[in-house]
Each structure stands twice: as C-alpha cells, then as structure tokens.
Structure 1
Amino acid sequence: MTESEFTGEEAVETATLPLDAWHRAKGGRMVEFAGYWMPIQYEGIMAEHLWTRENAGLFDVSHMGQLYLSGEGLDEALEAVLPGDVKSLTVGRMRYSLLLNEEGGILDDLMLSRWPEGIYMVVNGAVKWEDIGHLREALPDAITINHLEERALLALQGPKAFDALKRHTTGQWPLDALVFMMGGPYQIGGVDAWISRSGYTGEDGFEISVDADKVQQVADLLCGEPEVKPIGLGARDSLRLEAGLPLYGHDLDEEIDPIEGDLAFAISKRRREEGGFPGAARILGHLADGSPRKRVGLLIDGKLPVREGAKLFDGEEEIGVVTSGGFAPSVGAPIAMGYVPRDHAAPGTAIAAEVRGKRVSCTVAPMPFVPHRYIRKQGG
C-alpha cells in the first residue's frame, strides 16, 4: 500500500512520523503511505480490527495535514471554496466538508472545527501540500494559513475509548460533555491537547492533537490502559470500509462531485439555496435531477475479495469500477464500494465484478455495512 503526496521529477525521501521509533519498538511493520513510513500492522490486521470494534485502538494519523486559518472575512472566504455552512459553525463544533475544483470535482475531503479565533482544518496527508497551495491561491490575502507542522494527531477509537481517555483527561468541561463532532481544549496527563469526539472507523472515539514532542508521552499513557492497543493502517482501512466511509484518492477524486460520491449531506440547506461555491451549477443540478453515477456498497458472494480497480458488469456490459474492497472481519465476508450508473444503484441490484478473469456475483447494498456507534447529542 503505497501512495506519494509529492509531485515533480525529483525523488523525495519518505518522511517519518514523530512516533516512528515507538511504532518500530512495538513491532509495527512499516510501509510507505502518503509519503510517510507508517505502521500497517502490529499483531495482524484481523486481530487489530476486531480489538478496535470490541475495545479501543490507538491510531497514529500524524501524516494528516493540520491547518489553522484566521483573519477578517474568514467564513465568507471559506464558503467561496467549500460547499459547507461555515458561518453557522459555533466554537467547539466540527463539520465535514469538501475542497472543490471549479467543475465541482473533489480535491479533498476534510474536517473543520471552530476554535475561538479561527478555523482548525484537518486534510488528507496524501494531498495536504496541494491543498495548502490551493487555499493560498484561492483565499484572500487577509486570511492567514498556518500549517501546524509541529503537531501530531492520534485517534483513539472503539467502544471503550471513552473509559480509557477519561482516566487521564482534565479540562474546562467533563469529557462526556463532548458528543460526536464536538471538540475542545483538554489536558491528557498534563499535556495540552485539542480533543474532538470524532474519527474514521464508525466507532465512538476521539481525535487528539498534541505537540509532536509530547505525543509519545500521550501514546504511552493511553496504551498503558488495558482497553487500548496500538492499531495499524491495515485495520484503519478495513474499519472505515465497513463503516462506508470513502478514502480520498481511491473512492473520491477530482472527477467525482459530492452527489456522485454520495456526500450530499455535506451541502447544507442554506448553501443549496444560495449556491456560490465551486461547481455549484453541476452539483445543484445533480441534486435536483440525480447524478449519472453513484458510489454504492457491494456485498460479495463467496469468499474471494474484490479489490480496487475491479470492473463491474451487468451481463456483458461494463458499467462501473470498484474503488475499495477487501475482507470485512466484522461482517465475516468480502465487501466493496464502487461506482455504478444511477439505474444500477438501488440496494438489492445484482451485478458482477471481474476478478482474475472470472466473474464474481455481488449485490448493491446500503452503507454502512456495520452500524455507526457515534455518541450523538440526545435528541439529535
């Protein structure tokens, strides 16, 4: 599993995470991903996946880009490049959004959080330099973009994540005051951190932004709890696939707009009514009339995994492609997601995937494959 975030003719050396030695000391098998050496597994992807579903897993996602944006007119400026409702975002609240090109294609998917004096943004590691360049070009000079290169990012995910984290956390508000898509300043074992109740596994959990020189202290503290084990990139991928969550560069790219990507929820009612974001004509047209293709889930017959790049067929007609796929430990069977025409996107539609020259039967299925277990606001 390799992917480079760097472009150009000159080769760039693979970077290391602040916890690189820590991962290796714990038996992490390191691979190149998004321009960094990252642990793909420790004791095995299946075991790590199931541990996270039942207990709590600690993921190092410090390859992600952490940005802080500030300046006069910030909300209006961001709404000119994102389809999300930035103006209604109050302090401590988070929102999923998308960076779009002029045609409405997805340059990246990202998370926004309102901090007291600006916006904290987390973007994908594989394209963070491109994102920064795009934002610098697209936003007015009055907007300052700080790349928080000296910060690390951890994700503590699973049904026992709260119990493990609470033992070491103090803050202005109790930890259980955070519900899904909220964040705030806390201390973990005396280390200052921004903690949000969020993640990319479908489980309850938290993301923890800390200074890079303090991240090992936090990782050791959390992994000292009986519920917590370090978990690698492999299980992170199988967990997010079961949760029906797209991975940029695989399930989303510049040719796909939010409606095709099944991300219409990221465009609020006000933005739909007002427009004013890149590619609005295409996107609002697809909202009104339906998009020509759609990202869907696929349940695979049999035990043979269907991987990214497999072609999809209706009879002898090629109709689409798989963008993510593999064995789903919590489902106990292979699953996938991919793109099919709108008239093949209804759950229950029978199609086939081509694997090593053979046809494998599959069925369009609703996502997520495993129910999300986010802790939401009561009544929300």
Structure 2
Amino acid sequence: MSATENLLTTPLNALHLELGARMVPFAGYNMPVQYPAGLVAEHRHTRTAAGLFDVSHMGQLRLIGPDAAAAFESLMPVDVIGLGLNKQRYGLLLNDEGGIIDDLMFVNRGEDIFVIVNGACKHGDLAHIQARIGGRCTIEPQFDRALLALQGPQAVTALARLLPGVEQLVFMTGMPSTWEGADLYITRSGYTGEDGFEISLPASAADAFARALLVQPEVKPIGLGARNSLRLEAGLCLYGNDIDTTTTPVEANLNWAMQKVRRTGGARAGGFPGADKVLAQLDGAQPAQRLRVGLIGLERVPVREHVELHNAEGQKIGEVTSGLLAPTADKPVALAYVQAEYAAVGTRLNAMVRGKAVPMAVSPLPFVPNRYHRG
C-alpha cells in the first residue's frame, strides 16, 4: 500500500481532483497544493478578488458547560472569560515550560466555546485538553465537520449572495447561519491578511456549498501553496515552522496575544502553564535570549527555512523558519529567530544560502499591510 493510500481525505477530495489540483500529503491528509493556474496566480487572485480554501483538515471542538471558559483560560495566557458573545480570539496552548503546544482560534458562542486547532496537532490537543480540564467541562470533538475559508477583498460580496447578513460581521466576530438545511457557523477571520471568512459546516453539505461559492464570479479555488505565501506576507506563524514546543509566546513575538488581565496583577494574572517563565520574559526579569523577526532580502535570492543567519563576523546568530520570494511584496521575505541583540528593525544579517552570504535586513511585520474589515 502506498503512503498516499493511507492518507485521510476531506469532504472536498473529489472536487479537488475534478478541478485538476496537484495533491500532496499534509497533516495526514491528501490536500491540494495548487490548481492548474499555479501558486502565483492563486496568490494574486486572493489579494484582488476571492479565494476558496479547503481547511477541513483542521480540528474543530466544543467546550460545553458553565465552567468551560474558566477551564479553558487555565490552559492559556489569554482572556477567555472576558470574551463577548460571538467574539473570536487567537489563543496559545502552552506546556509547563511555556512552550507552544499549538496556536488556535476560539469563539464564545454562548452555548459553548468553539475551538479551531491545527490539523497536525488536533489529536494531541484534544488529549491535552481532556487530561487538563476534562473534569470541568464537556469536550466534544467535531473532527468530522468541514471547514472552508473564503478570503480576499471580494469575499464578502460572494458570500453574502449565499448567506445574507454576513456583511454585518466585523473582523474576529461570528454568527450562526443555515444553508439548504445545514447548520453553519461563520467567522470573519482568516490566515491571509485579507478580509475574509471561515465557514464551519457539516461534511455532507461541504461539496455543494463549495460548488455554490465557486459559481460566484469572484471566487477561484486556492491551494496550500498560496495559503502559505499569503500567510507569510501577512507575518503569521505556521505551527511547526515558526512556533513549536521549544518557543515561548515572548520569543515568538506574540506578546499582543496575551491580554493585560492575564499578565499583570489581579486575580486572573498568571496561573497558566509555564506562567513563571513567560511572565519573567515579559517583565524583563529574565529576558528572552532569542526573538522571532521578519527579514527582507536585499538581493533577489529566495531564503528558505533552516538557512543559518550570520552576523558580519561570520558567527551564527539565528535561523530562518519560513521564507520565499513573496508575490505581492515582490522580494524575498522570511521569518526567523535571532539572538535578541540582532532583533531591532534595520539590523543587517547574512543568510547562508549554499555557502554564499545573502544580505538581509530585519523588517517590521506584516510584509504586506493587513486589510481586515474592522467596521
């Protein structure tokens, strides 16, 4: 039996093949990396119109019960209790050393906390959450539900034809909806830096709903390749590349994701796994020795993950974790970890590409301005 035959498939597998997708293994699934138009065309279409992404490999779960918010908050340096109804937030599951087990999105839907985790991590995340807070709330995996992302400046126009009312959502809010008898939940969020939506729906409705979206003149199918180039231009982390169990939120430059109520004073500060280390890095008592930064290439040479970064004296001071020639920015960009003293914007470094020093400079993030719809 080939490795491909052991892969799981999403509810849109037949549609991907029909559309001529090139399929690759990803997070245990057979997934479309690109369609015949190619990565750059798909990337540009998402930036100018609307791209449809199959992200059904992601894990969806519900935390149910009166203590669910407080229980979930005990696992992350994030404000869960204070999140308003149908509001969404970015979260970080931490281990006892402050390392990132996974990054995730969650919504307070009133009846539950609805959580979306990364595909490769979902079974481990579920086991971790059950082990830590299973006695405090009901944890219901919904790994059989489909998840679609519609991203780009014309996403709202296309989606509102099928689901009137979605145009009223703003960035990081959600709403329930129905389509042809299927129960949907829509959030105005995504992983591209563009305006857009993520739609959770039953697997049985996914193919018909995707086809209904693809009929819209603004919408084309987009694969994992462009999803990666879009998120990198947006300065967003890819779990397993840019963050993992060896990186803390402070090292990953994700301080913004830790709300003040969890950081300083008060009854709800600290109390999460790894809090002593993370808070000591935050307040400067034990500063992080390395930091995640953005880099732009000063020559037109793509710089990929695992490339070493050297200072002017030729000493290794860091490593690239994600990198490519960015279609919209039209230059090489990368995310990397560097020793803290080299993290200031404008600092010059050399990426060692096949033995040759390629000059790069620390850049602000994102590389392409975000265009989220904040109302």
Using the alignment, how far apart are the partners of 1:191 and 1:67 within structure 2?
Answer: 18
How many pairs does the alignment contain?
365
Cα deviation, residue 304, structure 1: 1.5
Provide the residue aligned with 2:13 in structure 1: 20
Is the 1:168–1:189 Cα contact (8 Å) retained in structure 2? no
Residue 288 of structure 2 is aligned to residue 291 of structure 1:
yes
Counterpart of 1:246 (choices 237, 248, 253) is: 237
Cα deviation, residue 12, structure 1: 9.3
Gaps of 5+ in 2: none
Using the alignment, how far apart are the partners of 1:46 and 1:127 within structure 2?
Answer: 28
Q: SS of the residue aligned with 1:323?
A: strand
Provide the residue aligned with 2:173 in structure 1: 182
Q: Structure 1 residues 259 and 159, CA, compared in 2 at 3 Å: closer, same or farther?
A: same
Counterpart of 1:220 (choices 211, 222, 230) is: 211
Is the 2:29–2:57 Cα contact (8 Å) retained in structure 1? yes
Cα deviation, residue 140, structure 1: 3.9
Using the alignment, how far apart are the partners of 1:77 and 1:168 within structure 2?
Answer: 36
TM, length-normalised to structure 2? 0.95
Q: SS of the residue aligned with 2:60?
A: strand
Q: SS of the residue aligned with 1:16?
A: coil
Cα deviation, residue 229, structure 1: 0.2
Counterpart of 1:69 (choices 55, 63, 86) is: 63
What do the CA deviations read for 1:52-71 (whole angstroms, capped 9, x no partner)? 00000000000000001112
Higher alpha-carbon deviation: 141-150 or 317-326: 141-150
Residue 106 of structure 2 is aligned to residue 112 of structure 1:
yes
Q: SS of the residue aligned with 1:181?
A: coil
Counting aligned pairs with the same residue, the percent is 51
Provide the residue aligned with 2:248 in structure 1: 257
Is the 1:161–1:205 Cα contact (8 Å) retained in structure 2? yes
Counterpart of 2:354 (choices 353, 356, 360) is: 356
Is the 2:77–2:92 Cα contact (8 Å) retained in structure 1? yes
Provide the residue aligned with 1:278 in structure 2: 273
Provide the residue aligned with 2:366 in structure 1: 368
Which amino acid in structure 2 is aligned with residue 100 of structure 1? Answer: L
Using the alignment, how far apart are the partners of 1:189 and 1:328 within structure 2?
Answer: 39
Provide the residue aligned with 1:334 in structure 2: 332
Is the 2:92–2:104 Cα contact (8 Å) retained in structure 1? yes
Which amino acid in structure 2 is aligned with residue 158 of structure 1? Answer: G
Q: Structure 1 residues 75 and 192, CA, compared in 2 at 3 Å: closer, same or farther?
A: closer
Q: SS of the residue aligned with 2:263?
A: helix
Cα deviation, residue 76, structure 1: 1.8
Cα deviation, residue 190, structure 1: 5.1
Provide the residue aligned with 1:31 in structure 2: 24
Residue 89 of structure 2 is aligned to residue 95 of structure 1:
yes
Cα deviation, residue 281, structure 1: 1.1
Using the alignment, how far apart are the partners of 1:151 and 1:75 within structure 2?
Answer: 22
Is the 2:71–2:136 Cα contact (8 Å) retained in structure 1? no
In angstroms, what is the RMSD of aligned CA positions?
1.4
Is the 1:189–1:218 Cα contact (8 Å) retained in structure 2? no
Cα deviation, residue 192, structure 1: 2.5
Counterpart of 1:46 (choices 40, 52, 56) is: 40
TM, length-normalised to structure 1? 0.94
Q: SS of the residue aligned with 1:110?
A: strand
Q: Structure 1 residues 344 and 12, CA, compared in 2 at 3 Å: closer, same or farther?
A: farther
Using the alignment, how far apart are the partners of 2:158 and 2:50 within structure 1?
Answer: 8
Provide the residue aligned with 2:297 in structure 1: 300
Gaps of 5+ in 1: 5-10
Residue 304 of structure 2 is aligned to residue 311 of structure 1:
no
Using the alignment, how far apart are the partners of 1:376 and 1:187 within structure 2?
Answer: 24
Using the alignment, how far apart are the partners of 1:225 and 1:191 within structure 2?
Answer: 20
Q: SS of the residue aligned with 2:40?
A: helix
Q: SS of the residue aligned with 1:184?
A: strand
Cα deviation, residue 189, structure 1: 5.2
What do the CA deviations read for 1:93-140 (whole angstroms, capped 9, x no partner)? 001010000011000000010112110000000111110111111114
After superposition, residues 125-136 of structure 1 pair within 5 angstroms as 125-136=119-130
Using the alignment, how far apart are the partners of 1:190 and 1:71 within structure 2?
Answer: 27
Q: Structure 1 residues 198 and 55, CA, compared in 2 at 3 Å: closer, same or farther?
A: same
What do the CA deviations read for 1:178-225 (whole angstroms, capped 9, x no partner)? 100000111345543100000000000000000001001110011001
Which amino acid in structure 2 is aligned with residue 192 of structure 1? Answer: D
Provide the residue aligned with 1:7 in structure 2: none
